[in-house]
């Protein structure tokens, strides 16, 4: 593999006790596109950050064009020819400067041109760079006035000014429309032709089909699959990513009888097919799909955070169209959001305050909180869900991640729900806590409709009576848990074959 | 005696005229066509009653002369004030009044104005320039007169409280009088010294004065040579219940101060003040003399007036207008006068 | 063992320091120890304390109100304008001021939640606006009975006895005429805000917003309404401070109120350190204001010049912030 642009072997990285990378081997060849896939927390971003100099690895080696590569920091990695375009586009551009200044930013930084900026020369050189990249924007336009796609192009073009050997694109299409994405792919083709080694990180199957020559899949901090024989086996890749180790699932199927939540012709996203679905009383339905499949969007709409483009929602036959979370909570539709750190935990509060936060009225006498009631209700719930703590007065920060998550879920079990929405309830939770939470959700499911939004198939199989697969903002398949056809499920998640691109002759 | 002193100082100003009766006669150039004369007032300080009154004096005297007035206000920005002098030069004004400011920032700007052939007077700022007369209210005399009254009322031996914030030019000059009096009268002791410019100034000083009075109940005289200080001390004296046992002597005056001095049982016995409006008028007149080719003298001093509680009560004075009526020397100063200069009507 | 000492220091350090100060001044400054002196200390911190309680509410929702000083001096001018020039009765003047405070708070809140102006910038803008606006009706002059108005007439109104009573009355407690009215109002507001922030669900939700606004909104808290309410509380308390100031001074002084702002923010920040709370709280704010007041009273009685007072205020604030952010974080780190 001496002709490899970048060779990574045995890369290790831990944060505290958390082993994020457990010996990763990846090779990137010049003039080819390698797609990196992996679910949340698989270690993709840590790997990228180690390569681009953001983290120092704890173990393993990297070689760049045959020479040892151990970047001290981001600037060092860039100067050696490893350039990264991050997911958040505005990290890659300076919105208040014009296009020419953005393209030439590195020249401004390295200071070779002396103290004064010669705008005319700057613009001339920037135009040259833009022409090479097939970019046609006015050099004097402020970047903040450009559409997202152009900004993305400029971020990439800026990276190309440094003539990189390795280019890492992290979810580059996540905020682009289809036509905008097509322009990006043309650009990628051109760079490939110039001999750049590209590492492309994405969840979008359509993107992957369009650009991938090789697929590398990560799971739990290690490489779980490499696919480089054509035609690429996308379904195998998705399986490698999501895993399907069959746990001894012990679900007594409940289908329920009374329809509780009814969605009719609900359109959640521009251009997506409408959704029609019924969830019955006592049923636990899991929604699975890749990132960007529309799961979170559906959860947001049901919880009043955003609004559908069309269609009708009904609860118990009554029209339901919440304008805010407050209204949804008022109608007993509860959402436990994903990413508890940013969306759910109140870091300054103790367990009792955190748990009772939505229902403080219920533990108050008039406007005054009754600490006694609050502690009683919290204490009961702590016992039922099995939260490990010394007292309900403990700060939430003293709990482990799994116990914090239990508090966040328990928060919504304090009062009876009509519809309970759980977005990634097992995020950052160990297997024991996951079982506890799942058992409790199933045990209390009677009297409500429970919708669980998940990326991992294993988790869905553990908790759901029914698994609904989403893709491109709509429902593409339904599977009953006790009669699961795993291959069909994975095929649904992967999505229908996109148009062949002619990339792989 | 004081009066004569001032008249000699302003010798070139000509003889005094009866207030309000002046009629412009055969005005020298350029005041034969005053509408073509423009003067500029370049200010450093502008917020507060004193500066408002000063401005009104400048405005009324400029109007009486019939000249155009441009007011440039730098709002305590020293660099901006210097730029404003340059602006005034560029505007082609005939004369400039520099009102307060810092010597360091104004010295060169003032020189540029002089070089451009513009007549300049300065109020309460030393621009170190022989061609520029100083208009001053004598802060030293303000302090001196107030303390003389304190000694007249209380004898030559008492425990005093004193309000002082060093580094503020007029307060520093008033401070000189206090040091002199203490040296001259060993019986006068400074039992407590307080002072802050935290705003609201009266409120902050009231808090301090109250602590000082509590710690030193023997204080019988409080020298607070600035009316905001005096007001704070008075509030404190009332709150501690010492108003009957002590006297406050201060400097400066406003309508509100008159009300406070006249409150029944008020400890505020006397103040010494120069009418800021008069200072404004004098500034314009001194500049007018220079424009007409006459010399107002290197230093034009506006004499201060002693105002006692007894006088206010006897004359039933309620506000500054009453004070001007009943105390003509407060309403008008025979300084920087000429028979061709019309005085503001009153 | 070490942890225990640290814990104790963080929790009671400031209160012990406060007691130590009182003991020291009582020994060093004759006349410091006594009910009269205590009443005076309380009176000197009453106005800044009231403002500080308001700013505490905005700190709780992770905001900040730089306009409180200007609101207070605007209320000072407005009450004077209302009574001296417009000759309104006391109740009208007081209601006008309170209404003005609520309106400014509402505008601050709307600027912040609707127009997405960062809190510091919105309230800074409001501060300048108010400093200017309070001077417009009188062309920059202070307001006092007998002043000549721009139309040549003389202002005949006076501050009514009832209004001055608010700032000057003293109740007989232990000894005659001891407890000043502003202190009573300060204590009442402190208790009300302490109850509100610490013991009502509204207060709890406001703390939740301050700690993680997104999480609070996702459980259905009307975050924007609470934020606006916090700024309105801050505006109203600041206008109460201004009313008391006007009643004490007996005239409408033009002033920027910047020192009021700085002193009350200092009190609220010192309050973080009291009882190791490490977050804004009404009890701490009141103690913080008292702490500064005792220091200044004691130092003035010992004839310390004014600049040492600023120095000491700064030193106390820095020490309190170290208590809050360094020691408290060490403690919670140890608790893991």
pLDDT tens-digit map of C61-92: 999 999 999 999 999 999 999 998 899 999 99
Residue C1: what pLDDT?
A: 55
Kindly state which CATH superfamily the domain B2-138+275-304 is placed in: Response regulator (3.40.50.2300)
Does pLDDT of A505 surpass 70? Answer: no
Residue C328: what pLDDT?
A: 65
Helices C201-211 and C223-249: crossing angle, nearest 10°? Answer: 110
C114 vs A423: CA distance, rounded Å: 29
Give chain B positions within 8 Å (CB) of C140.
46-48, 52
Does pLDDT of B9 surpass 50? Answer: no
Instruction: List subunits contacting chain C, requiring 3 or more Cβ pairs under 8 Å.
Output: A, B
Average pLDDT over residues B83-96: 90
Percentage of chain A lying above the pLDDT 70 cut: 90
Q: How many helices (H) and strands (E) does chain A have?
A: 18, 22
Compute the nearest-CA separation of A443 from chain C (Å): 23
- Tell me if chain A has a CB within 8 Å of the CB of C177: no
Phi-psi region of B78 (alpha: psi -120 to 50; beta: other; left: phi over 0): alpha
The overall longest dimension of chain A from CA atoms, in Å, is: 77
Residues 299-318 on C with a CB inside 8 Å of B are: 300-303, 305-306, 309
Q: Closest Cα partner for B227 from A195, C188, C144?
A: C144
Tell me which H or E stretch contains C289: helix C282-301
Residue A236: what pLDDT?
A: 81
- Residue A251: which pLDDT band, with cuts at 50, 70 and 90? low
Residue C296: what pLDDT?
A: 83
Average pLDDT over residues C290-313: 83
- DSSP state for residue A272 in the 8-state scheme: P
Q: Which residue has the tokens 């025979």?
A: B334
Shortest CB distance from C214 goes to which of A326, A328, A343? A343
Condensed to tens digits (0 to 9), the pLDDT of residues A264-305 reads 999 998 888 899 999 999 899 999 887 778 888 899 999 999
Residue A496: what pLDDT?
A: 67
Does pLDDT of A90 surpass 70? Answer: no
To the nearest whole number, what is the mean pLDDT of chain A?
Answer: 83
Average pLDDT over residues C206-211: 92
Residues 79-138 on C with a CB inside 8 Å of B are: 135
Residue C151: what pLDDT?
A: 76
> Where do the domains of chain A lie?
6-242, 247-332+416-495, 346-415
Taking residue A337's Cβ as centre, other Cβ atoms within 10 Å add up to: 25
Shortest CB distance from C44 goes to which of B48, B52, B207? B207
Condensed to tens digits (0 to 9), the pLDDT of residues C221-265 reads 999 999 999 999 999 999 999 999 898 888 777 776 788 898 899
CATH class assigned to A6-242: alpha beta
Beta-carbon contacts below 8 Å between B and C: 121
Residue C335: what pLDDT?
A: 36
Please report, for residues A93, A155, A184, the alpha-carbon distance to residue A89 in angstroms, rounded to integers and kept in the order given: 7, 7, 13
> Where do the domains of chain B lie?
2-138+275-304, 139-273
Please report, for residues A5, A219, B251, B252, B305, the alpha-carbon distance to residue B270 in angstroms, rounded to integers and kept in the order given: 92, 89, 8, 10, 11
Average pLDDT over residues A37-46: 77
Residue A147: what pLDDT?
A: 78
- Residue B331: which pLDDT band, with cuts at 50, 70 and 90? confident
What are the two backbone dihedrals, phi and then psi, of residue B153, each rounded to the nearest 5 degrees? -80, -35
Q: Which residue has the tokens 């309410």?
A: C229
Does pLDDT of A407 surpass 60? Answer: yes
Please report, for residues A236, A348, C114, C273, C323, the alpha-carbon distance to residue C277 in angstroms, rounded to integers and kept in the order given: 54, 10, 31, 6, 10
Q: If you count them, how many residues does chain B have?
A: 346
Q: Closest Cα partner for A294 from A475, A87, A477?
A: A475
Q: Do C254 and B210 touch (CB under 8 A)?
A: no
- Tell me if chain A has a CB within 8 Å of the CB of C221: yes
Compute the nearest-CA separation of C281 from chain B (Å): 26
ipTM value for the complex = 0.84
B317 vs B43: CA distance, rounded Å: 31
- 3 state DSSP class of B182: helix
Average pLDDT over residues A452-473: 86
Shortest CB distance from B258 goes to which of C140, C146, C309? C146
Could you report how far apart the first and last alpha carbons of chain A are, in Å? 24
Give chain C positions within 8 Å (CB) of B239.
40, 43, 168, 180
Instruction: Decide: pTM greater than 0.95.
Output: no
CATH number, domain A247-332+416-495: 3.40.50.300
Residues 182-241 on C with a CB inside 8 Å of B are: none
Give chain A positions within 8 Å (CB) of C336.
397-398
Beta-carbon contacts below 8 Å between A and C: 79
Residue B166: what pLDDT?
A: 85
Chain C residue with CA closest to A367: the answer is: C200
- DSSP state for residue C325 in the 8-state scheme: I
What pairs with residue B161 in β-bridges? B192, B222
Domain ranges, residue C108: 2-335
**What distance lies between CA A279 and its chain's CA centroid?**
26
Q: Closest Cα partner for B286 from B13, B71, B18?
A: B13
What are the two backbone dihedrals, phi and then psi, of residue A86, each rounded to the nearest 5 degrees? -85, 165
Q: Tokens standing for C236?
A: 């109203």
Does pLDDT of A85 surpass 70? Answer: yes
Shortest CB distance from A397 goes to which of C216, C219, C332? C332
C127 vs C145: CA distance, rounded Å: 27
- 3 state DSSP class of A449: strand
Condensed to tens digits (0 to 9), the pLDDT of residues A323-358 reads 999 999 999 999 999 888 889 999 889 999 999 999
Give chain B positions within 8 Å (CB) of C259.
198-200, 204
Q: Tokens standing for C256?
A: 């920027």
What pairs with residue B144 in β-bridges? none
Q: Tokens standing for B218?
A: 């023997």
Chain B residue with CA closest to C141: the answer is: B49
In a mutagenesis test of the B interface, which of C70, C73, C154, C249 is the best target, namely the one with the most B β-carbons within 10 Å? C249
Q: What burial class does residue A236 get, using C-beta atoms within 10 Å of its C-beta: 0-12 exposed, 13-18 middle, 19+ buried?
A: middle
Percentage of chain A lying above the pLDDT 90 cut: 25
Condensed to tens digits (0 to 9), the pLDDT of residues B217-237 reads 999 999 999 988 999 999 999
Residue A398: what pLDDT?
A: 82
Q: Tokens standing for B236?
A: 């404190």
Condensed to tens digits (0 to 9), the pLDDT of residues A408-444 reads 999 999 999 999 999 988 877 776 777 788 888 988 9
B174 vs B165: CA distance, rounded Å: 11
Residue A304: what pLDDT?
A: 92
Compute the nearest-CA separation of C177 from chain B (Å): 9
Residue A248: what pLDDT?
A: 47
* CB neighbour burial string for C60-85, b if at least 16 within 10 angstroms, e if fewer: bbbbbbbbbbbbbbbbbbbbbbbbbb
Shortest CB distance from C208 goes to which of A337, A346, A397? A346
Residue with the larger pLDDT of the pair C186 and C307: C186
Q: Closest Cα partner for A99 from A157, A13, A44, A42?
A: A157
- Tell me if chain B has a CB within 8 Å of the CB of C296: yes
- Residue A127: which pLDDT band, with cuts at 50, 70 and 90? confident
Q: Do C219 and A305 touch (CB under 8 A)?
A: no
Compute the nearest-CA separation of B10 from chain C (Å): 32
Q: Do A368 and C200 touch (CB under 8 A)?
A: yes
Domain CATH code at residue C139? 1.10.3470
Give chain B positions within 8 Å (CB) of C30.
215
Compute the nearest-CA separation of B238 from chain C (Å): 10
A125 vs A113: CA distance, rounded Å: 13
What is the layout of strands, in order, in the sheet containing B68-73? B68-73, B38-43, B95-99, B119-123, B134-137, B299-302
Does pLDDT of C334 surpass 60? Answer: no
Shortest CB distance from C220 goes to which of A326, A349, A367? A326
Does pLDDT of C20 surpass 70? Answer: yes
For chains C and B, having 3+ Cβ pairs within 8 Å is answered yes
Residue C330: what pLDDT?
A: 64
Tell me which H or E stretch contains C240: helix C223-249
Compute the nearest-CA separation of B89 from chain C (Å): 28
Please report, for residues C126, C220, C233, C238, C280, the alpha-carbon distance to residue C63 in angstroms, rounded to integers and kept in the order given: 15, 20, 13, 16, 11
Tell me which H or E stretch contains A85: strand A82-85
For chains C and A, having 3+ Cβ pairs within 8 Å is answered yes
- Of A208-217, A454-463, B97-106, C100-109, give the range with the top mean pLDDT: C100-109
Domain count, chain C: 1
Condensed to tens digits (0 to 9), the pLDDT of residues C191-202 reads 999 999 999 989
Average pLDDT over residues B167-193: 90
- Hey, what CATH topology would domain B139-273 get? Rossmann fold (3.40.50)
Does pLDDT of C54 surpass 90? Answer: yes
Does pLDDT of A465 surpass 60? Answer: yes
Does pLDDT of A377 surpass 90? Answer: yes
> Residue C139 in contact with residue C147, Cβ under 8 Å?
no
To the nearest whole number, what is the mean pLDDT of chain C?
Answer: 88
- DSSP state for residue A350 in the 8-state scheme: B
Q: Do A357 and C205 touch (CB under 8 A)?
A: yes
- Residue C168: which pLDDT band, with cuts at 50, 70 and 90? confident
Residue B12: what pLDDT?
A: 34
User: Residues near B322 by Cβ (< 8 Å), separated by ≥ 6?
Assistant: B315, B316
- Tell me if chain A has a CB within 8 Å of the CB of C294: no
- Tell me if chain B has a CB within 8 Å of the CB of C149: no
Residue A172: what pLDDT?
A: 80
Residue A253: what pLDDT?
A: 64
């Amino acid at each position: 593999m001496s002709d490899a642009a970048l060779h990574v072997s045995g890369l290790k990285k831990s944060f505290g006790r958390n082993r994020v990378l457990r010996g990763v081997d990846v090779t990137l060849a010049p003039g080819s596109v390698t797609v990196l896939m992996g679910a949340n927390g698989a270690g993709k971003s840590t790997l990228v950050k180690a390569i681009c100099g953001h983290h120092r690895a704890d173990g393993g080696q990297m070689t760049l064009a045959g020479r040892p590569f151990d970047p001290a920091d981001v600037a060092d990695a860039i100067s050696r020819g490893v350039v990264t375009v991050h997911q958040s586009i505005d990290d890659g551009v300076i919105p208040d400067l014009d296009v020419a200044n953005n393209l030439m930013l590195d020249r401004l930084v390295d200071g070779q041109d002396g103290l004064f900026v010669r705008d005319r020369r700057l613009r001339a050189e920037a135009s040259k760079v833009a022409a090479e990249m097939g970019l046609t924007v006015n050099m004097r336009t402020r970047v903040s006035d450009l559409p997202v796609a152009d900004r993305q192009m400029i971020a990439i073009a800026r990276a190309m000014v440094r003539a990189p050997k390795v280019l890492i694109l992290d979810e580059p299409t996540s905020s682009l429309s289809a036509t905008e994405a097509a322009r990006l792919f043309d650009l990628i083709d051109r760079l490939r032709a110039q001999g750049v080694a590209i590492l492309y990180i994405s969840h979008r199957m359509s993107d992957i089909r369009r650009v991938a020559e090789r697929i590398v899949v990560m799971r739990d901090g290690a490489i779980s699959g490499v696919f480089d024989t054509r035609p690429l086996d996308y379904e195998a890749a998705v399986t490698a990513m999501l895993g399907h180790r069959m746990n001894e699932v012990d679900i007594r199927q409940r289908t329920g009888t009374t329809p509780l939540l009814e969605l009719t012709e609900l359109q959640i996203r521009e251009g997506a097919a409408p959704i029609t679905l019924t969830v019955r009383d006592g049923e636990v339905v899991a929604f699975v799909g890749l990132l960007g499949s529309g799961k979170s969007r559906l959860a947001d709409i049901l919880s009043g955070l955003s609004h559908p483009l069309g269609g009708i929602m009904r609860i118990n036959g009554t029209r339901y169209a919440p304008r805010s979370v407050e209204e949804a909570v008022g109608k007993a539709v509860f959402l436990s959001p994903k990413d508890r750190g940013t969306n759910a935990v109140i870091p300054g509060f103790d367990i009792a305050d955190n748990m009772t936060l939505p229902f403080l009225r219920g533990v108050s006498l008039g406007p005054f909180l009754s600490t006694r009631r609050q502690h009683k209700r919290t204490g009961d719930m702590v016992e039922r869900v099995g939260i490990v703590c010394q007292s309900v007065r403990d700060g939430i920060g003293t709990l482990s991640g799994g116990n914090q998550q239990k508090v966040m879920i328990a928060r919504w079990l304090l009062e009876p729900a009509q519809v309970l929405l759980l977005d990634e309830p097992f995020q950052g939770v160990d297997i024991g806590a996951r079982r506890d939470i799942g058992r409790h959700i199933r045990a209390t499911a009677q009297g409500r409709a429970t919708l669980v939004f998940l990326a991992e198939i294993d988790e869905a199989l553990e908790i759901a009576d029914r698994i609904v697969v989403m893709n491109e903002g709509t429902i593409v398949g339904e599977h009953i848990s006790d009669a699961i056809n795993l291959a069909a499920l994975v095929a649904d998640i992967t999505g229908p074959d996109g148009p062949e691109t002619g990339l792989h002759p | 005696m004081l009066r004569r002193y001032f008249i000699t100082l302003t010798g070139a100003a000509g003889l005094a005229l009866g207030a309000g009766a002046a009629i412009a006669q055969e005005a020298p150039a350029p005041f034969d066509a005053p509408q073509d004369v423009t003067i500029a007032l370049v200010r450093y300080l502008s917020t507060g009653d004193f500066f408002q009154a000063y401005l009104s004096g400048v405005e009324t005297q400029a109007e009486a002369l019939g000249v155009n007035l441009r007011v440039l206000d730098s709002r305590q920005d020293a660099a901006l004030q210097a730029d404003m002098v340059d602006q005034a030069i560029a505007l082609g004004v005939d004369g400039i009044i520099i009102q307060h400011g810092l010597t360091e920032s104004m010295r060169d700007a003032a020189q540029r104005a002089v070089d451009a052939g513009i007549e300049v007077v300065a109020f309460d700022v030393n621009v170190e320039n022989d061609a520029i007369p100083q208009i001053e209210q004598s802060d030293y005399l303000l302090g001196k007169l107030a303390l003389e009254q304190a000694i007249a009322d209380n004898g030559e031996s008492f425990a005093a409280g004193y309000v002082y914030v060093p580094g503020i030019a007029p307060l520093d000059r008033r401070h000189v009088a206090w040091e002199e009096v203490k040296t001259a009268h060993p019986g006068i002791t400074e039992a407590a010294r307080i002072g802050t410019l935290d705003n609201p100034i009266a409120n902050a000083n009231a808090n301090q004065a109250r602590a000082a009075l509590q710690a030193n109940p023997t204080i019988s005289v409080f020298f607070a040579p600035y009316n905001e200080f005096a007001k704070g001390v008075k509030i404190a004296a009332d709150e501690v219940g010492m108003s009957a046992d002590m006297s406050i002597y201060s400097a400066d005056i406003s309508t509100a101060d008159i009300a406070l001095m006249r409150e029944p049982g008020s400890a505020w016995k006397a103040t010494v003040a120069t009418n800021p409006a008069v200072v404004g008028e004098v500034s314009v007149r001194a500049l007018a003399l220079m424009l007409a080719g006459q010399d107002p003298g290197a230093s034009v001093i506006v004499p201060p007036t002693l105002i006692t509680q007894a006088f206010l009560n006897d004359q039933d004075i309620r506000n500054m207008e009453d004070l001007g009526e009943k105390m003509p020397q407060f309403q008008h100063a025979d300084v920087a006068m000429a028979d061709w200069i019309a005085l503001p009507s009153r | 063992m070490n942890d225990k000492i640290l814990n104790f220091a963080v929790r009671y350090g400031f209160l012990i320091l406060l007691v130590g100060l009182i003991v020291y001044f009582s020994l060093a400054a004759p006349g410091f120890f006594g009910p009269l002196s205590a009443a005076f200390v309380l009176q000197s911190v009453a106005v800044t304390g009231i403002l500080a309680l308001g700013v505490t509410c905005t700190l709780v929702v992770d905001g900040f109100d730089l306009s409180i000083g200007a609101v207070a001096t605007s209320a000072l001018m407005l009450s004077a304008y209302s009574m001296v020039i417009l000759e309104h009765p006391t109740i009208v003047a007081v209601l006008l001021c309170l209404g003005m405070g609520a309106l400014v708070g509402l505008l601050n809140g709307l600027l912040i939640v609707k127009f997405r102006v960062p809190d510091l910038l919105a309230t800074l803008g409001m501060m300048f606006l108010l400093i200017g606006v309070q001077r417009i009706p009188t062309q920059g002059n202070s307001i006092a009975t007998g002043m000549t108005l721009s139309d040549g007439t003389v202002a005949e109104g006076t501050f009514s006895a009832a209004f001055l009573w608010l700032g000057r009355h003293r109740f007989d407690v232990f000894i005659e005429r001891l407890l000043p009215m502003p202190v009573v109002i300060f204590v009442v507001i402190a208790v009300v805000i302490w109850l509100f922030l610490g013991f009502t669900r509204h207060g709890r939700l406001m703390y939740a917003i301050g700690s993680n606004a997104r999480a609070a909104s996702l459980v259905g808290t009307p975050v924007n309404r609470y934020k606006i309410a916090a700024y309105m509380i801050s505006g109203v308390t600041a206008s109460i401070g201004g009313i008391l100031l006007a009643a004490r001074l007996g005239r409408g002084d033009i002033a920027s109120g910047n020192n009021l702002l700085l002193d009350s923010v200092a009190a609220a920040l010192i309050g973080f350190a009291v009882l190791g709370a490490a977050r804004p709280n009404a009890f701490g704010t009141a103690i913080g204001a008292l702490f500064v007041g005792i220091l200044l009273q004691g130092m003035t009685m010992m004839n310390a010049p004014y600049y040492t007072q600023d120095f000491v205020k700064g030193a106390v604030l820095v020490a309190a912030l170290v208590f809050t952010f360094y020691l408290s974080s060490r403690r919670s780190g140890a608790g893991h």
